[in-house]
Amino acid sequence: MCLGIPGRVVDIVDADNHLAKVDVSGVQRTISVRLLADSGVCVDDWVLVHVGFALAKVDEDEAAMTLDQLKRLGREYDDELESFASSSVL
């Protein structure tokens, strides 16, 4: 299953190449924020992540509600989190 999952930006790893580190439920990974270059991404922003790319900014309340609903999926959520942890955009 492929989900868009909210993550909080914890670091801008490489601004020139549009790379940021995000935290999704304790799992941190570097992703591309190139698709959001026009709107700018900052530390503590929440973004919707899919296959290593930030697709959209979301507010913290929306991120929390979405994560809560995803956690209710049970094993599917765990699988997605494992996939997120093991994949790499680089």
Q: Where are the domains of the chain?
A: 5-86
Q: What are phi and psi of 43, to 5 degrees?
A: -55, 140
pLDDT at 32: 96
pLDDT at 30: 95
pLDDT at 34: 96
pLDDT digits (tens, 9 = 90+) for 29-87: 999 999 998 888 999 999 999 888 999 999 999 999 888 887 787 787 777 777 766 76
For residue 1, pLDDT beyond 50: no
- Correct CATH for 5-86 of 2.30.110.10, 1.25.40.80, 3.90.700.10, 2.30.30.140: 2.30.30.140
Tokens 């093991």 -> residue: 86
Secondary structure in 3-state letters for 40-67? CCCCCCEEEEECCEEEEEECHHHHHHHH
